[in-house]
Chain A
Amino acid sequence: MIRLHQITRRYEETIAVNGLSLEIEKGQICVLIGRSGCGKTTTLRMINRLIEPTSGQIFIDGRDTASIDAEKLRLSIGYAIQSVGLFPHMTVFGNIAVVPQLLQWEKKLIARRVEELLELVGLKPAEYVRKYPNQLSGGEAQRIGVARALAADPPIMLMDEPFGAVDPLTRERLQAQFIHIQQKVKKTIVLVTHDLDEAIRLADRIAIMESGRLVQYDSPEVILSRPRNKFVRDFVGADRALKRLSRIGIKNFIKPAATVNVNRPVKQVIASAGSYRWLWVVDDNQRLIGWVDKSALAQSASIKEAMDEGVAGEIALSDSATLREALSRMLGLGFKCIPVIDDGQRFVGEVALGDIEAATTEEEDRQ
């Protein structure tokens, strides 16, 4: 859908981008990554002609972008930058509504769209429409930046370090939300980042750039398992194997596990516990609320007394987590198995260290 053909950008003495050719399919996320000064941001900004290529062409859906009026082009492409750039003199509503207003949408349509978008990025419309940017936290502002870029429902989005300006915790949450949103809207996205983990997590294909040239353009799995040259190998880093684990979700590794309802009488539990040394405790709605050691049960009157709480928050994994997160948690807590919960905190199963080991060996065998 987007095709870059021999794109070059020359400044007085330097060549920022050198003969880059790239093709991005519809609905894919292409991440441009590389060191500072490698030309990734320049390339991004050439797609919407904020910078004009010195030579080469860019085709969007077969049309040469040079033949389209620059402003019209940009109105049809979503643009989100690192500093977000929310206009301080406009409310959240005003900010998101900018492009639809420039396109002269009907007022009612704009209002509906703003509400839609706020919900999409996980912010309550009633609460946020009237706020001003200076009243927002970093994470909120970044989400509204994304909403603003999506406002006119452009088929293509350009994003320059969109999650760069927030703390790692918020960034992680934003990334998860981003993946979630992309599953719904299926935009063609070109994203620039310097964070390899982010690239691996989000990209369908990664384009590694250095000194203005394209070094490797493949899916994250391929880049991690078959780096083309020393540069890519060094760039990806020595812990390729671990990084690969962040591409695999735990869904296929969840095994059923024994649970017990918190309200069941202790004696009954001890009787039917069998060989289990400990059990996961759930409530009437199957929500995970703690775990209990069988030996502790013997000395207590109720499960509630004997159990260990705080599991859901600290220990349990969401069912959309990756193998890498599972491994990391296991190592951090010293557990060999981790409970998994869904969106509603309901117990789904558990993931065991042994299964992850098996999975990695399998992967290596396959290479």
Chain B
Amino acid sequence: MSRQRARRWILLGVALGAFLVLIANTGWWEIGLRSLFPGETTVIHPRASLLVLVWEHIQLVAISSGITIIIGIPLGIWVTRPGGRDFLPIVTDITSFGQTFPPVAVLALAVPVLGFGLMPTIVALFLYGLLPVVRNTIAGLRAVPLHLLDAAYGMGMSRLQALFRVELPLSAQVILAGVRISVIINIGTAMIGAVIGAGGLGSPIIAGLVRDNLAFIIEGALPAALLAILADQFLANLESSFAYISDKV
């Protein structure tokens, strides 16, 4: 690993540590928010500690993104194989068309179907998160130069071996980029999940809006922003470790 990359990982580790310390110490928040908003009686949302809220949020995103990856990447692989090629146009169209849909709308429409709480949130996050993952998997696989595949098959690799030893490693960066987009969108949409009872960092914000309590709003907004930025940097760093400069021969 290059020294530059190692340095970035260390920086990320430090930031992560700082973040964890920050959200674990509710007392600091108490003090900070009280000084900013002297007029409020309560500054910390009573439902759950900040740590729990962050954990709930992470769980929401992790579970839905996990399912998205497990289903989305194989789906993207399948439509680029001879067996699934018939479905490539419609899948491509749905994934690009679907991205014009606001994620909030998908979340909202999940309610009439699945009710309130965790279930509709996870389903909506999973469905919407599929779009960038599938699209990037398809794009990444199709970008593998054909002559490399010819060399691979000519050498004696089976289709499966070529997929795992050549196509996927070369597409890894693009696929990971799709995962990153999906995760970041999910972190945002999960905030709104609080409205339908899924918990997470959206709940103090909603509570704050309802009760006109600015401190609550900050209690939710700031950690959420930090979490999103951290996740993005982490995944971006992971992504760049898969950068192979494409061959010139």
Q: A residues engaging B (CB < 8 A)?
A: 45, 48, 50, 71-77, 79, 81, 83-89, 98-99, 102, 132-134, 136, 138, 141-142, 145, 148, 158, 165
Contact = CB atoms under 8 A, between A and B. Distances in A.
B141 to A, nearest CB: 14
B245 A79 contact: no
Nearest to A84: B249
Interface residues of B, number: 22
A102 B161 contact: yes
Interface of B: 147-148, 150-158, 161, 165-166, 169-170, 244-249
A71 B160 CA distance: 11
A48 B153 CA distance: 10
State the main secondary structure of chain B at its contact with A: helix
Nearest to A76: B156
Contact of A88 (B152, B158, B161, B170): B170
A134 B248 contact: yes
A74 B153 contact: yes
Given A89-B169, A89-B244, A133-B247, A79 B155 contact: yes
Contacts of A132: 244-245
Contacts of B158: 71
Contact of B148 (A75, A76, A87): A87
19 contacts: A50-B154, A71-B157, A71-B158, A72-B156, A77-B156, A79-B154, A81-B154, A83-B147, A85-B152, A87-B148, A87-B170, A89-B170, A98-B157, A99-B156, A133-B247, A134-B245, A141-B249, A148-B155, A165-B249
B247 to A, nearest CB: 4
Q: Which of B147, B156, B244, B247 has the largest number of chain A CB atoms within 10 A?
A: B156
Nearest to B169: A89
Given A74-B153, A74-B156, A87-B152, 8 more contacts: A50-B150, A50-B153, A87-B170, A88-B247, A89-B170, A102-B156, A102-B157, A134-B244
A74 B156 CA distance: 4
Contacts of B147: 81, 83, 85
A88 B156 contact: no
Contacts of B166: 87, 89
A86 B161 CA distance: 16
B155 A74 contact: yes
